[in-house]
Structure 1
Amino acid sequence: MSASSDRPSPYIVGPAYDWAFFLLPPLGALALGVAISGTAFSGEPFVLWGREKTLAGLLVGSLIHAHLVAVFFRSHGNPAILRRFPLRFLLVPVLAWALIRGSPVVAALATVLATFWDVWHSGLQTFGFARIYDRNGGNPPALARRLDFWLNHLLYAGPILAGATMLDHFRGFDALEDVGLPFFTAVPAFMSSTHRAWTLGVVSLGGAFLAFYVLAYWRLYRRGYQLSFPKVFLLVTTGACSIYSWGFDSWGEAFFIMNLLHAVQYLALVWASEQERIRERLRLGRWRASSAVAAAVFLGSVLVYGVGAELLDPDLESLWALTLVVSLMHFWYDGFIWSVRREQV
């Protein structure tokens, strides 16, 4: 057998799957967001179940909630992980729901936390993909890991701080005044008044880091680092999409583009990693249509939740608290599962 045939695939699942669901979604989401901008699909509201929505808002909102709840297939659907960490997977969600439902202060703080945890989490998802592509390209798992870590946060959070949607990310602090925490309502005003300084800081420091990053990898390449084309393509397209969307788009268009690409990637990742366990849990065996049935159950269940959560009346406080718990547990559980597999990424 030749050495080339022993070499692992540079892809996570396979060429077709990776390009369709991991590598091309940034460009696909950007193209779709631009295409629907100013059309009836994104701008003409309608009423469904008493809630006023646009088709674009319903689509991306449902996908957001669907991908959030999909983490439970990775945590609670995995018996090995569930047995190792029963308290964090069984007790913590119940306690979190009780605290959010029972305290308006906790609920308001949890809403703000979810906004910024989402930014951190989204950067880490691309980081995880990049590290796996690096490993599959034949590089040591820990090589330049910290460089990639900070690059992905720069590419995602940098355009938010420096761009047109910065203030929209900080508006959640205004709700804290209603629960007796008026001090924090000064945060949006402070960020708005110092936005120019944040922009200059991100551009100057970010530009210096990008130059350092390229130089560091050039040195690694000269010492034998194996360049991974999927990794480079993913980082360049995701970074360009983030800069264009968060930096220059309106809030609605940027929100649609960035959350669409993130949700598609995540749902595809969960299916790729958990399909065998889903099929086993459903006791489908190996008959020809078992994968299709398992996929229908997986996607159908998370999408039903997604649509329901998107159309939920916020006045139903118990159910609204549940959706907030799902969001927080998604960020926590997903980051924790990635860390358990840190040696792989």
Structure 2
Amino acid sequence: MSASVDKPSPYIVGPVYDWAFFLLPPLLALALGVAISGTAFSGESLVLWGRETTRAGLLVGALIHAHLVAVFFRSHGNPAIFRRFPLRFLLVPVLAWALIRGSHTVAAAATVLATFWDVWHSGLQTFGFARIYDRNGGNPPALARRLDFWLNHLFYAGPILAGATMLDHFRSFDALGDVGLAFFTTVPAFMSATHRAWTLGVVTVGGAFLVFYLLAHWHLYRQGYRLSFLKVFLLVTTGACSIYCWGFDSWGEAFFIMNLLHAVQYLALVWATEQERIQERLRLGRWRAGRFVAAAVFLGSVLVYGVGAELLDPELESLWAVTLVVSLMHFWYDGFVWSVSREQV
């Protein structure tokens, strides 16, 4: 009788962890966003450190900044990756800060870049999770990769271009007008005037692509492709949440829901992949409570930064430039950390 072979787990970390922090956040964030809509939590103003905000705004803002700075645990905190790209991790952030701080034009351009890079980056995060679930389901890593790549961008960027929050994204171009680049201030007006055409284009092209995507996967399935329920669940719930929020919701509620789910997923991913290295750097060894101490240090440090960055006075230009550099480095670092080495991700 042959020995049994354990079937690889379809999960990234484990059933409870994956469902709590990777798979259910789209639905949980949507439910929370709907629940607090119109309540004092989201509508009643409060003043902290001289900044006016709301409890919902402080919550999501702090989480956004916290997850942005958490990338440094994946880049600078991972010796194997840090040794391969020392100039990217040490020199580029300093140069970026100097350019942003030294030029209002560069600062305005960086603000616009961060707005739209965030859209691209958010689609890629779900893409990364989907590809891992597909691989864990027994499929070759490259199979249907390009299909998933464009599907995730369709689900995230499509509703932004076609939906109710389109103009809110393109208003970032107004910052370029403040530094004398008046031409770019016509972009929001152009997008608003042609919004109907963009909506029609996204619906037409997106609908055709969805049909193609399903047919392509049916063809692959007949050739032996193994359908991953976890991947399907993640894509369907994230796509539905994005379409509802960016397509039909108000800017504030959509911003809260989509950024909450993204930040929770990312913080959970960083902790899952870097917790052992964090424990080692803190010299916690095999101490039984070491894992909890490491988690407290990780979450505490990024949340302290998150709250501080959210309540920062924009007139403190040097510190404001730091938060913008952190945002840009997050998008850049996270992109190549995902792909630099399959053993690392």
Which TM-score tier does this pair reach, normalised by the shorter chain? over 0.9
Q: Per the alignment, do residues 216 and 21 of structure 1 end up closer, same or farther by CA in structure 2, a change over 3 Å counting?
A: same
Distance 1:84 1:344 in 2: 13
Q: Deviations over 1:276-320 (max 9, x none)?
A: 000000000011101000000000000000000000000000000
Separation (CA, whole Å) in 2 of partners of 1:72 and 1:5: 38
SS of alignment partner, residue 6 of structure 1: coil
Aligned-pair distance for 1:342?
Answer: 5.5
Task: Identify if the C-alpha distance between structure 1 residues 321 and 37 changes in structure 2 by more than 3 Å, giving closer, same or farther.
Answer: same
How much does 1:341 deviate? Answer: 3.3
Instruction: Output the amino acid matched with 1:125.
Output: Q
The residue identity in structure 2 corresponding to 1:123 is G
Quote the residue 2:266 is aligned against.
266
Q: Distance in 2 between matches of 1:123 and 1:30?
A: 17
Which position in structure 2 is the counterpart of 1:252? Answer: 252
Aligned mates of 2:3, 2:252 — CA distance in 1: 50
SS at match of 1:325: helix
- Structure 2 residue aligned with 1:324: 324
- The whole-number CA distance in structure 1 between the counterparts of 2:246 and 2:40 is 22
Distance 2:94 2:40 in 1: 41
Q: Provide the C-alpha distance between the structure 1 equivalents of 2:12 and 2:191, rounded to a whole number of angstroms.
A: 40
Structure 2 residue 164 is matched with structure 1 residue 164: yes
Q: For 1:128-139, list aligned pairs within 5 A.
A: 128-139=128-139
Classify the secondary structure of the residue corresponding to 1:7.
coil
In the alignment, what sits opposite 1:208? 208
Q: Which residue of 2 aligns with 1:45?
A: 45
Pairing 1:232-251 to 2, within 5 Å after superposition: 232-251=232-251
CA distance in 2: counterparts of 1:9 and 1:129, whole angstroms: 15
Corresponding position of 2:24: 24
Contact residue 141 and residue 344 of structure 1 kept, 8 A: no
Q: Distance in 1 between matches of 2:2 and 2:261?
A: 38
1:281 aligns with 2:281: yes
Q: CA deviation at 1:244?
A: 0.2
> C-alpha separation between the residues in 1 aligned to 2:86 and 2:42?
43
Matches of 2:5 and 2:104 in 1, distance apart?
Answer: 60
Distance 1:167 1:267 in 2: 29
Separation of aligned partners in 1, 2:219 and 2:178 = 54
SS, match of residue 323 in structure 1: helix
CA–CA separation in structure 2 for the residues paired with 1:146 and 1:342? 17
Q: Secondary structure at the match of 1:84?
A: coil
Residue number in structure 2 paired with 1:9:
9
Matched, 1:292 2:292: yes
1:87 aligns with 2:71: no
1:7: how far off?
1.9
Q: List per-residue Cα deviations over 1:198-231 (Å, max 9, x = no partner).
A: 0000001100000000010011111111111110
Whether 1:180 aligns to 2:192 is: no
RMSD (Å) for aligned C-alpha atoms: 1.3
State how far apart, in whole Å, the 2-side matches of 1:140 and 1:200 are: 36
Residues 4 and 42 (structure 1), Cα distance of their counterparts in 2 relative to 1, 3 Å cut:
farther
Q: Secondary structure at the match of 1:216?
A: helix
Shift of 1:6: 2.5
Work out the CA distance in 1 between the residues paired with 2:319 and 2:343.
Answer: 38
Structure 2 CA distance for aligned equivalents of residues 74 and 194 of structure 1: 41
Aligned-partner SS, 1:8: coil
Letter in 2 for 1:331: F
Preserved contact between residue 10 and residue 136 of structure 1 (Cα < 8 Å):
yes
List, as ranges, runs of 4+ consecutive aligned residues in structure 1 with deviation greater than 2 Å. Answer: 1-6, 341-345
TM-score (norm 1): 0.98
Alpha-carbon distance in structure 2 between the residues aligned to 1:177 and 1:226:
51
Q: Deviations over 1:70-119 (max 9, x none)?
A: 00000000111111110000000000000000000000000000000000
Unaligned runs of 5+ in 2: none
Amino acid at match of 1:281: R
Equivalence for 1:125: 125
CA displacement, residues 2-28 of structure 1 (integer Å, 9 cap, x when unaligned):
787422100000000000000000000
In structure 2, the partner of 1:68 is 68
Report the Cα distance in structure 1 between the residues aligned to 2:205 and 2:21, rounded to whole angstroms.
Answer: 32
Distance 1:86 1:254 in 2: 37
Residues 46-75 of structure 1: CA distance to partner in whole angstroms, max 9, x if unpaired? 101100010000000000000000000000
Partners of 1:11 and 1:133 within 8 A in 2: yes
- Say which SS state the counterpart of residue 179 (structure 1) adopts: coil
Distance in 2 of aligned mates of 1:344 and 1:3: 31
TM-score (norm 2): 0.98
- Structure 1 residue ranges without an equivalent (≥5): none
Q: Report if the CA contact (8 A) 1:132-1:344 is conserved.
A: no
Percent of residue pairs bearing the same amino acid type: 89
